[in-house]
């Protein structure tokens, strides 16, 4: 009888501890990514050899190694908590990566270790998906039009460049991260990492052409801390 | 009683000591049929025959590496071209053993027929000590190659359709000469320029000479290069049709497939119109 009581009490304590420690916090880190200097001029893409894609772009598009917005803002920057937050189990939702008009949508896709990655081909042409992983497994698969999505998972955190060898202008990035506290900046350069419990965090910002920058941030209570990253743009 | 305890302690200590050895056993070993390779023996062979190109640490940065235009394999990365296993997975011991025996045609990797089977097995065991991947992962599950169906004109024609439909020609060219629209832009995973295979000028393939080897090349993909795996998009039986068609593109290689294709009007016209220039690896081809 007493044993049962102790066991029950233990269970209740365990549940309480789990709820308080694993429950989402209410702190937020937000801010803006900008650049100084002159970013590389993006080159127009010649899709004339792929008419089914060229016809989807009435105005010719350019490469996307650096995408900027008005006021020197920088898009496609992955902002994430690199230290201070525990590793998390992958969510059950899949991270979707589309090939549309011979472009990657989104150009930069962030998702978690172990999370399902779903790659679709919306084009009327064959693509090959070639994520150039160094820490994870490097694979390379063909995906002709009308074939089902390719799914995969990555075991380790890594920034993986992705390319299509058939269409040399197609480049993208898979950001495989250890927890759910991440954000990819849009054209306005903005990012937001909500639901942070109080604690000391290292925030890392990663850009495929300009590398990474880090900042330490302390969150206490439900405050919102605003930080900014300024990347040094190189014209080449 | 005291004796008993001592005996127990001895067993426990020996088990503890042996456990890490057992765990790492797979990495230092290789099993090919009845052969068992030994990494210790392979090490001596490696530092006699292999490190000049593949490097002291097996990272592909040997003394000769800067002079080679297909870079030596980096055994630390453990990405291998010739496999029987799915793209992204480790090859089997037998795959590595066969690569050593056969060599990689059109590259600087010679055929090591001067070594004995036992020596090659020992080398495979040693090569596997360079990458931690062999510690944490197992080899991929090899594809089962279905029996080759009888060779027919219909099979060749269906292979021809697959070559069109799967857009093999984007790189390999409409006539298989390695001059497709994307050919000149290709780079391998080390950012080195690489050219697609020129079927017209080539009589041999990189990963073996048999039809089953050709079947494996496009099903497994050639990892580390732009050649993807088609295993998800070609049915195993259909893949034989593509093998039969690819053989007809190799006009410098006398094969039953080419002979049969020549007996048809369409085939004879295509073969006689085939032009042979450049090398199998695509150099000397004008775009």
Residue B96's domain is classified under what CATH number?
1.10.760.10
Does residue A45 sit at the B interface (CB-CB below 8 Å)? no
Q: What are phi and psi of B117, to 5 degrees?
A: -55, -40
Does residue B221 sit at the A interface (CB-CB below 8 Å)? yes
* Mean of pLDDT values over A76-88: 97
**CA pair distance B178, B169, nearest whole angstrom:** 8
Does residue B237 sit at the A interface (CB-CB below 8 Å)? no
Q: With contacts defined as CB-CB under 8 Å, which chain A residues touch B89?
A: 137
Claim to verify: residue B88 and residue B181 sit in the same structural domain = no
Say which range, B1-5, B198-202, B240-244, has the weakest mean pLDDT: B1-5
Identify the CA nearest to B233 among candidates A137, A147, A196: A147
- Domain stops at, among B111, B136, B161: B136
Q: Which domain holds residue B94?
A: 27-136
What is the nearest CA distance from A127 to chain B, expressed in angstroms?
A: 9
Residue B46, Cα to own-chain centre: how many angstroms?
A: 20
- Is the pLDDT at B29 greater than 60? The verdict is yes
Claim to verify: residue B157 and residue B119 sit in the same structural domain = no
CB contact under 8 A, A168 and B228: no
CB contact under 8 A, A129 and B228: yes
Residues 6+ apart with CB under 8 A from B75: B54, B58, B59, B60, B127, B130, B131
- Is the pLDDT at B285 greater than 70? The verdict is no
Query: Does B237 map to a domain?
Result: yes
Chains A, B: CB contacts under 8 A, how many?
73
Query: Does B223 map to a domain?
Result: yes
Query: Does B224 map to a domain?
Result: yes
Query: What is residue B21's predicted lDDT score, i.e. its pLDDT?
Result: 43
User: Residue B167: which of A125, A129, A137 has the nearest Cβ?
Assistant: A125
Q: Which helix (H) or strand (E) holds B183?
A: none
* SS3 assignment for B1-44: CHHHHHHHHHHHHHHHHHHHHHHHHHCCEEEECCEEEEHHHHHH
Claim to verify: residue B167 and residue B100 sit in the same structural domain = no
Say which range, A13-17, B29-33, B129-133, has the weakest mean pLDDT: A13-17
Query: What is residue B84's predicted lDDT score, i.e. its pLDDT?
Result: 97
Residue A94, Cα to own-chain centre: how many angstroms?
A: 13
Q: With contacts defined as CB-CB under 8 Å, which chain A residues touch B166?
A: 126, 142, 144
Query: Does B132 map to a domain?
Result: yes
- Is the pLDDT at A18 greater than 50? The verdict is no
Does residue B189 sit at the A interface (CB-CB below 8 Å)? yes
Query: What is residue B22's predicted lDDT score, i.e. its pLDDT?
Result: 42
Does residue A10 sit at the B interface (CB-CB below 8 Å)? no
CB contact under 8 A, B186 and A142: no
User: What pLDDT, in 10s, does the model give residues B99-140?
Assistant: 999 999 888 999 999 999 999 999 999 999 999 999 989 999
- Is the pLDDT at B171 greater than 70? The verdict is yes
CB contact under 8 A, A128 and B166: no
Residue that the structure tokens 């056969």 belong to: B102
Find the residue in B nearest to A131 (Cα). Answer: B189
Tally Cβ neighbours within 10 Å of residue A44.
11
Residues 6+ apart with CB under 8 A from A16: none
- Is the pLDDT at A40 greater than 60? The verdict is yes
Claim to verify: residue B157 and residue B123 sit in the same structural domain = no
User: What pLDDT, in 10s, does the model give residues A122-173?
Assistant: 999 999 999 999 999 999 999 999 999 999 999 999 999 999 999 999 999 9
Query: pTM (2 decimals)?
Result: 0.86
Query: Does B167 map to a domain?
Result: yes
What is the nearest CA distance from B110 to chain A, expressed in angstroms?
A: 26
Does residue A144 sit at the B interface (CB-CB below 8 Å)? yes
CB distance B137 to B90 below 8 Å: yes
Find the residue in B nearest to A166 (Cα). Answer: B182
Query: What is residue B279's predicted lDDT score, i.e. its pLDDT?
Result: 80
CB contact under 8 A, B233 and A143: yes
**CA pair distance B287, B185, nearest whole angstrom:** 11
**CA pair distance A31, A224, nearest whole angstrom:** 10
Segments making up each domain of chain A, as ranges: 25-233
- Domain stops at, among B85, B111, B136: B136
Claim to verify: residue B214 and residue B266 sit in the same structural domain = yes
Beta bridge partners of A191: A31
Cis peptide before B191 (omega within 30 of 0): no
User: Residue B181: which of A49, A130, A142 has the nearest Cβ?
Assistant: A49
CB contact under 8 A, B88 and A138: yes
Number of structural domains (chain B) is: 2
**CA pair distance B228, A126, nearest whole angstrom:** 11
Claim to verify: residue B257 and residue B158 sit in the same structural domain = yes
User: What pLDDT, in 10s, does the model give residues B68-105?
Assistant: 988 999 999 999 999 999 999 999 999 999 999 999 98
- Which tokens hold the place of B280? 């199998």
Q: What are phi and psi of A113, to 5 degrees?
A: -55, 130
Size of chain A, expressed as the number of residues it contains: 236
- Is the pLDDT at A6 greater than 80? The verdict is no
Query: What is residue B12's predicted lDDT score, i.e. its pLDDT?
Result: 56
- Domain stops at, among B101, B136, B171: B136
Find the residue in B nearest to A162 (Cα). Answer: B189
Return the residue in A166, A168, A171 with the most chain B beta carbons within 10 A, the one to mutate for interface testing: A166
Domain A25-233 class? mainly beta
User: What pLDDT, in 10s, does the model give residues A89-104?
Assistant: 999 999 999 999 999 9
Return the residue in B74, B167, B186 with the most chain A beta carbons within 10 A, the one to mutate for interface testing: B167
Say which range, A166-175, B188-197, B216-225, has the weakest mean pLDDT: B188-197
């Amino acid at each position: 009888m007493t044993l049962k009581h102790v066991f029950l009490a233990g269970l209740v304590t365990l549940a309480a501890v789990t709820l308080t420690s694993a429950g989402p916090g209410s702190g937020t880190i937000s801010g803006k990514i900008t650049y100084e200097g002159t970013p590389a001029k993006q080159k127009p893409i010649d899709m004339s050899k792929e008419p089914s894609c060229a016809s989807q772009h009435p105005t010719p598009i350019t490469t996307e190694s650096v995408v900027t917005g008005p006021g020197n803002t920088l898009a496609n920057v992955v902002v994430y908590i690199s230290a201070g937050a525990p590793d998390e189990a992958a969510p059950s939702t899949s991270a979707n990566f589309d090939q549309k008009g011979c472009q990657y949508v989104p150009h930069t896709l962030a998702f978690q270790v172990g999370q399902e990655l779903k790659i679709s081909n919306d084009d009327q042409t064959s693509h090959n998906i070639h994520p150039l992983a160094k820490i994870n497994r490097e694979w390379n698969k063909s995906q002709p039009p009308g074939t089902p999505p390719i799914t995969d998972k990555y075991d380790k955190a890594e920034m993986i460049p992705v390319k299509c060898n058939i269409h040399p202008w197609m480049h993208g990035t898979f950001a495989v991260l250890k927890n759910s506290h991440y954000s990819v900046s849009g054209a306005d350069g903005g990012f937001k990492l909500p639901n942070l419990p109080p604690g000391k965090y290292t925030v890392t910002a990663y850009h495929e052409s300009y590398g990474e920058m880090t900042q330490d941030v302390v969150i206490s209570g439900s405050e919102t801390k605003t930080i900014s990253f300024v990347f040094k743009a190189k014209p080449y | 009683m005291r004796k008993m305890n001592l005996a127990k302690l001895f067993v426990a200590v020996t088990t503890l000591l042996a456990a890490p050895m057992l765990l790492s056993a797979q990495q230092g070993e290789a099993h090919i049929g009845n052969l068992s390779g030994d990494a210790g023996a392979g090490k001596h062979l490696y530092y006699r025959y292999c490190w000049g190109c593949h490097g002291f640490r097996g990272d592909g940065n040997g003394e000769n590496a800067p002079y080679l235009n297909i870079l030596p394999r980096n055994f630390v990365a453990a990405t291998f071209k010739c496999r029987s296993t799915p793209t992204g997975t480790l090859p089997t011991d037998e795959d590595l053993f066969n690569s050593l025996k056969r060599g990689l045609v059109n590259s600087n990797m010679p055929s090591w027929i001067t070594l004995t089977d036992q020596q090659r097995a020992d080398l495979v065991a040693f090569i596997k000590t360079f990458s931690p991947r062999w510690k944490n992962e197992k080899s991929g599950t090899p594809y089962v190659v279905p029996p080759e169906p009888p060779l027919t004109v219909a099979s060749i024609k269906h292979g021809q359709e697959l070559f069109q439909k799967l857009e093999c020609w984007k790189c390999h060219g409409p006539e298989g000469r390695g001059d497709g629209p994307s050919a000149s832009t290709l780079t391998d995973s080390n950012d080195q320029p690489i050219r697609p295979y020129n079927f017209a000028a080539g009589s041999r393939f990189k990963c073996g000479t048999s039809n089953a080897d050709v079947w494996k090349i496009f099903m497994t993909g050639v990892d580390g290069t732009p050649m993807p795996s088609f295993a998800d998009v070609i049915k195993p039986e259909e893949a034989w049709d593509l093998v039969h068609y690819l053989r007809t593109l190799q006009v410098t290689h006398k094969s039953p497939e080419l002979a049969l294709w020549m007996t048809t009007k369409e085939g004879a016209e295509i073969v006689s119109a085939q032009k042979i220039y450049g090398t199998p690896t695509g150099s000397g081809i004008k775009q």
